[in-house]
Chain A
Amino acid sequence: DGGITQSPKYLFRKEGQNVTLSCEQNLNHDAMYWYRQDPGQGLRLIYYSQIVNDFQKGDIAEGYSVSREKKESFPLTVTSAQKNPTAFYLCASSISTSGDYGYTFGSGTRLTVV
């Protein structure tokens, strides 16, 4: 079955360490996205990519980095520069960023800084 796989489901990080969240899709979608979710805040866009080797900053990109070397993969690195990284992270994909297409989401990664 086609879908999006995020791993790991839970992740613990020590302060000052970088950590990479994995996102893989087999839907043949061109566009991929990373959202951060905090209680009471809804979903906020971190980065998105419309094609391979290209990506754009979202609303809260500071302290994060991404790469898009393959169509299927869009990993997110949470760097030590991110001041408050504890959150739930959701990866999504869509056929394109055109408004007619909704997103398919992964099951999320819950990151906790200890």
Chain B
Amino acid sequence: AQKITQTQPGMFVQEKEAVTLDCTYDTSDPSYGLFWYKQPSSGEMIFLIYQGSYDQQNATEGRYSLNFQKARKSANLVISASQLGDSAMYFCAMSAGYSTLTFGKGTMLLVSP
């Protein structure tokens, strides 16, 4: 079985600063994918970034990067230069083999001016 743990229920950051959202995972499958999604107050889930278990380099997408530490089973999301529009709920998720996506409980990020 797969498990995703997000230990930060809420995070605060000032505009233009960087912030790291933590995610640890557990799986016995050697092949897996890690995802981050953003959920604004409107409710839709927006895909941010993906990291495959065999990828050698950390994934980056614009201001988002994924700090992948395989030995520690962590996949932290780093948002650089935070913006007010980054205020939202953030979910880490994992899919291993042919299993469905398993989600963490999420971290609420608030960006202040």
Residues in B with CB closer than 8 Å to A104 are 47
- Cβ B104 vs Cβ A90 within 8 A: no
Q: Whose C-beta in chain A lies nearest to the C-beta of B34?
A: A99
- Cβ A107 vs Cβ B43 within 8 A: yes
Chosen A-B contacts, 20 in total, with CB atoms closer than 8 Å, are: A40-B9, A40-B105, A42-B104, A43-B91, A45-B100, A48-B100, A90-B43, A92-B45, A96-B98, A98-B95, A99-B31, A99-B33, A99-B99, A100-B52, A101-B95, A102-B35, A102-B47, A102-B101, A107-B42, A107-B43
A8 interface contact, C-beta 8 A = no
Mostly helix, strand, loop or mixed at chain B's interface? Answer: loop
Categorize the interface residue count of chain A. Answer: 20 to 34
- Cβ B97 vs Cβ A99 within 8 A: yes
Q: Whose C-beta in chain A lies nearest to the C-beta of B6?
A: A42
A21 vs chain B, min Cβ distance (A): 14
Residues in B with CB closer than 8 Å to A58 are 100
B96 interface contact, C-beta 8 A = yes
- Contact flags B55-79 to A (C-beta < 8 A → 1, else 0): 0000000000000000000000000
A42–B37 Cα distance when bound, in Å, is 12
A33 interface contact, C-beta 8 A = yes
- Cβ A108 vs Cβ B44 within 8 A: yes
